[in-house]
Chains A and B, each alone.
Chain A
Amino acid sequence: MTRRTVTWLLLQAAAVVSGVWFGVWVFRAAVG
């Protein structure tokens, strides 16, 4: 596994975590 692949995997893991966090935040803000 190249360094480039690892970087892409880390970036995408961060994207998933951020997306889930954002979804929860929007839901809580809207519905409570």
Chain B
Amino acid sequence: MSDDDRRTVEEQLRSVIGERLAAINHEPDKGGNPVVVFLSLAGVAAGITMVWFGMRAVMDVGGFCAQGGPFEIAVRCPERVSWLMMGGIWGGMIAAGVYAWHTAGSGVPKFTALFWPGLFLSLGWNFLEYGLSPPEQFGGGVSVGWIVCGVLFVLMGLPPLLWWLGWIFGKDRPTLTERLTARAVGSAVDFAQRATPRMAAVLPAPTPAPSADTGFIEELERLQALLDSGALTDSEFRRAKRRILGGSL
């Protein structure tokens, strides 16, 4: 396949495949229920908020606390904070699942990718703030442990956020349809190039069909020559002539 042939085939394939994919891509969305989207996203925001405030309340008493159970408790948790933390974590996770499930494949602009950065960056902020200036009752200075945790949380939360921002604001990124079309066209042309020589080797070469019009005239001329030379009798000539004319007509 020459370069020109390849380009022609690629253009034709691109137009056919691109149209099909675009048609699939623009099938009507299944939409989204505004109430479900609102409540689930609000649930995620409320959950992260509760965990954020709960974490600060725990850090205000030194970062470790306990409540209930048969053990002697060194630092009692602020009242009801553990319930709020558990409620925030589980409620937020369930709400995030509902939001992700409900908006996936719909035309609703979705922010599922921001949940992870939202959680880790907000909690990382708490670690850094309390690490750089711990509560006064702990002697001031800095808390290296909390700063390390803060840096880790920022490292976990920031890359997905940057990826999301780059994805949203990327200028020249090809659409999904364009990427899929390019891949499909490349595969199809490669396949055709590999298959063509093998098909040529397997298929029988076409044989030129004998021309019936010229064939029987030549035979009649040869027959006439044999008659003239005396090689054929009159009756043999007529039988042969009838056979030739009968076969070609």
The answer for the CA separation of A21 and B249 in the assembled complex, in Å, is 98
Query: Which of chain A's residues have a CB closer than 8 A to the CB of B45?
Result: 15-20, 22-23
Q: Contact: B78 with A31, CB < 8 Å?
A: yes
Given contacts A26-B50, A27-B54, contact A19 B42 (CB under 8 A): yes
Contact with A along B13-47 (1 / 0, CB 8 A): 00000000000000000001010011101111111
CA distance A15 to B108 in the complex (A): 14
Query: Which of B39, B52, B84, B109 interacts with A5 by CB under 8 Å?
Result: B109
Q: Does B79 contact A (CB under 8 A)?
A: yes
Interchain CB contact under 8 A, A15 and B38: yes
Is A31 a contact of B57 with CB atoms below 8 Å?
A: yes
**Is B194 among interface residues, defined by CB-CB distance under 8 A?**
no
Cβ–Cβ contact B41 & A12, under 8 A: yes
Choose one: B42, B52, B83, B107; the contact of A30 (CB below 8 Å). Answer: B83
B123 at the interface (CB under 8 A from A): no
Determine whether the beta carbon of A23 is less than 8 Å from that of B53. yes
Q: Does B242 contact A (CB under 8 A)?
A: no
At the interface, yes or no: B49 with Cβ under 8 Å from chain A?
yes
30 sampled A-B residue pairs with Cβ under 8 A: A4-B107, A8-B109, A11-B38, A14-B38, A15-B38, A15-B39, A15-B41, A15-B42, A15-B45, A16-B41, A16-B45, A18-B38, A18-B45, A19-B41, A19-B45, A19-B49, A20-B46, A22-B45, A22-B46, A22-B49, A23-B53, A24-B49, A24-B53, A26-B46, A26-B84, A27-B49, A27-B50, A30-B80, A30-B83, A30-B84
B positions within 8 Å CB-CB of A? 32, 34, 37-39, 41-50, 52-54, 57, 78-81, 83-84, 88, 107-109, 111
